[in-house]
Structure 1
């Protein structure tokens, strides 16, 4: 029997430890985390019954542990909301968490407070889901191929195990034991709870009177996760920015109904349920998987407060090792990859398109390129496939890549969104060969959820992208999901061949559209900070003028957030996922490091405030009534002066935009550091601010030297 996570955990808070135990499993050992060392051990729960504690709290699970500058914290899930059931087992959304400190902090530390604020805001806003019995990190097809007897966290897909870094202390203890007593500790498995980040909706519904469950799950990869302009392309390990796996699941004859709380029996170990489903029929589960991810090359867009940032692309030769690693993993997991590229073939997006095609040309054997155009565009489609004939060295694994470029913007210009169907028509044969996963659930002995008897497998995947992998990508993914759902209903006998479910059941069509529009908003919010564009097409099936106006509002909001608010959001991603790890010791209590301090010269920082004051003064002078005998010209001169100062300040800000972008502070981007120094060099030559900035920097250097000497004396 697999060791599933505990559904009910009590936390006993003592002066020297936190003790975690499950009331429903009194014979299971208690997890004890010592204070303030953070040492982990397993203890007999009955021996701890008389221990003096200050409070006892019931939690839904342990999200993990994280070490910050001055202390280590245990992150626990204090409230979770049931969102639906998959194969009879409840799925939950994380609603509230609490950070339990290992020591009582007596001093105020600005960096520690900033770290805690980042974590709390990130967890509060991040859509995270978990289940005590269902492996949400893996698609249904991968679940069918895994050993159901291993612990849930061991079955988890490392890419989508969102709290893997936070769980690393518990996992290390499980694998290696305590210091001085090295031995595996499998009894800790029920305390390790994997969580996914993304979108999850489960809807029990009907189609033409047939009961079924429709679910949509988008899993966001924890590798190279972050915000829109600060994470693009690949990293050195081949992880793509904004990588998401989306799975559409259809379940028939699932007899489970209702939503249970933490102590519900539907997900408890050893529970058997009626696998025959409704009216004695086998439970059938069908799923279709797609992926999206940034263009697999080394590229970035450099924020300078311009609406369209400048694109920077490194050489293809430099990116090839990372691209190989990326596609080796994709082919190993999914089989053939159909690479649907939706970026523009003109303007600033053209170099990104060309970089993608050069990567594919370098990877596949004897690449054969075909370009198709028409009266609208010279390049409606551009495909790259491996050439015919067997090369001397044999076939390469990368010959399973199939590149398909579609000029989405040119084809759908003028609200002609129906023309995106041309891409589906072009890929018709590949989609037929791709299949989808289909299985029936059979009685599985002690296995939770029963054994899946596989009827068909999905043999390939469509990997879609545009510049952000958001708006255009979601439109195309929803169209592919619709095409496959029509095929599923036809194969199930619920739809006549050639018919479409949209024409047969209006209520189901409405549900489908809104699920995919919700998916677009969730993925977009995580990456860009706003909801998606073009959701009117997804929700209503057509492009509208109201939707176009809403897209304009989204574009302005994205500009503001991506330039002025995304730095802390990126820092929160890096902190939660372990991309940035706070140095051990942190300099000691009271020795603040000011990681988040604004290190720009004071005069640079003051320019926006000067501009704001100038505009305020001009408005005040313009609209404030004057006394009849008041002098006019002095006020006009002062008003004109401040108007000129405001205009100059705004000009200065946009001329030196890199100095005013809110950059990440924990993991500075190389192009940002380089651009900052170049911009500061230009500012030093400015006739007005140059001397002031240079004087500030000399004074700052002297102050840093004096502070360093004083700090050295204090330490001694």
Structure 2
């Protein structure tokens, strides 16, 4: 599956066309909470290749970067809590799966720098620690000790039959929320300082006005957060902007110290292009536009953007818990993924039971609360109603605790027998 958007702009006397193409891998396709991590073959969930194509003066330039879930086996099963816990599955296989994933990336793109944006604390911190530990067994000590000048978190991934240092993998952890918070996204410049040498070394694809190849892209950037949607899109838009400025400077459209920000109309259109790109990817995976989209779209956080994020976060909660199970089944059916796990003679799974729905959970608590309120209204005239109100209040609390304890039973889950990984 792919998405396509473009803009036409004028920079001085030159016309510039920028096109964004998103190509989604279908090997581990699915919804936000029902497809996490990677499968045993190393295919990552929400893996999307984003290609930015620029055309001006007859020249064509292209830059490709990718996003994808953390490439080892982990899951996040919905249970009515706002942020379900992360569970790492088959820990002993993490290094093998990660190596397979990066090896596939190297075969396709050449050099790879993996940027991990998750928190270092809490559940996300556990994922980060597993990511880092899973890389350690396949590090090349010889290569790592030859590059002591790098002061930022940096790991070098060993490659079978190593022949040249032009093919390597770099891993950088950048705690997005700790460094940038929710409003200081300009601090992403700290991340760019760490990868600037890599981007300049591995360049981008470029054709001249005669259609002849002038340069090729020899490496890519792989970015992830937990969902690979919000923090990831902000970061990828920064990488795309820096690359586009380099291309325009090389072709003489921008001066040596000129930037896209100095051309307001072009800058505004370019921000909207990346915001729409992020929204399209997010809608397919989570059911809502990307969060933090106001920064990508306007270059700053806005009150309306924060309110939109709140609404979209609530919508994601509803979809995750009460709609995405059925959606996941539909995707697996369309992709033919369930055929190998369910025999042809197996009965089609029945509809979810009455307990597995939002309406059941809400109705139980609502009815108990209504009876409690009705009894309280009569309590002023009759002590017996006060006792009844207390009974209904206890029942209401008891039902709420039961629903919380058995949250998974009330969620809309995929019905086909599928290994989650």
Please say whether Structure 1 and Structure 2 have the same fold, judged by a TM-score greater than 0.5. yes
Checking the alignment, whether the CA contact within 8 Å between 2:69 and 2:227 is kept in structure 1 is yes
Deviation at 1:328, TM superposition (A): 2.0
CA spacing shift, 1:392–1:350, aligned 2, 3 Å: closer
1:57-136 to 2 correspondence within 5 Å? none
Select the residue among 404, 414, 417 that pairs with 1:654.
404
Q: 2: distance between equivalents of 1:340 and 1:202?
A: 26
TM-align CA RMSD:
3.2
Select the residue among 406, 414, 438 that pairs with 2:174.
406
Q: 2: distance between equivalents of 1:424 and 1:393?
A: 31
Structure 1 unmatched runs, 5+? 1-195, 254-282, 374-379, 443-451, 588-592, 672-716
1:512-531 to 2 correspondence within 5 Å? 512-531=270-289
Matched position secondary structure for 2:86: strand
Structure 2 unmatched runs, 5+? none
CA spacing shift, 1:304–1:633, aligned 2, 3 Å: same
Structure 2 equivalent of residue 556 of structure 1: 314
Q: Aligned pair 1:314/2:72, yes or no?
A: no
Deviation at 1:349, TM superposition (A): 0.9
CA spacing shift, 1:419–1:594, aligned 2, 3 Å: same
Structure 2 equivalent of residue 105 of structure 1: none
Q: 2: distance between equivalents of 1:638 and 1:405?
A: 57
Matched position secondary structure for 1:382: coil
Select the residue among 176, 179, 189 that pairs with 1:421.
189
Checking the alignment, whether the CA contact within 8 Å between 1:307 and 1:559 is kept in structure 2 is yes
Higher CA-based Rg: 1
CA spacing shift, 1:396–1:662, aligned 2, 3 Å: farther
Checking the alignment, whether the CA contact within 8 Å between 1:234 and 1:296 is kept in structure 2 is yes
CA spacing shift, 1:608–1:346, aligned 2, 3 Å: same
Structure 2 equivalent of residue 247 of structure 1: 51
Select the residue among 104, 126, 136 that pairs with 1:329.
104
Alignment: residue pair count: 416
CA spacing shift, 1:646–1:336, aligned 2, 3 Å: same
Please state which structure has a larger fraction of its residues in strand.
1
Structure 1 equivalent of residue 153 of structure 2: 382
CA spacing shift, 1:637–1:371, aligned 2, 3 Å: farther
Q: 1: distance between equivalents of 2:166 and 2:331?
A: 32
Please state which structure has a larger fraction of its residues in helix.
2
Q: Aligned pair 1:226/2:30, yes or no?
A: yes
CA spacing shift, 1:643–1:332, aligned 2, 3 Å: same
Q: 2: distance between equivalents of 1:206 and 1:620?
A: 67
Matched position secondary structure for 2:16: strand
Structure 2 equivalent of residue 609 of structure 1: 363
Q: 2: distance between equivalents of 1:396 and 1:527?
A: 38
- Which structure would you say has the larger RCO, counting Cα contacts within 8 Å and 6 or more residues apart? 2
Structure 1 equivalent of residue 261 of structure 2: 502
Structure 2 equivalent of residue 536 of structure 1: 294
Matched position secondary structure for 1:524: helix
Matched position secondary structure for 2:300: coil
Checking the alignment, whether the CA contact within 8 Å between 2:119 and 2:125 is kept in structure 1 is yes
Q: Deviations over 1:454-495 (max 9, x none)?
A: 111111000001111111111110000000111111011111
Structure 2 equivalent of residue 214 of structure 1: 18
Q: 2: distance between equivalents of 1:639 and 1:392?
A: 72
Deviation at 1:499, TM superposition (A): 1.3
Checking the alignment, whether the CA contact within 8 Å between 2:360 and 2:410 is kept in structure 1 is no
Structure 2 equivalent of residue 286 of structure 1: 61
Structure 2 equivalent of residue 352 of structure 1: 127
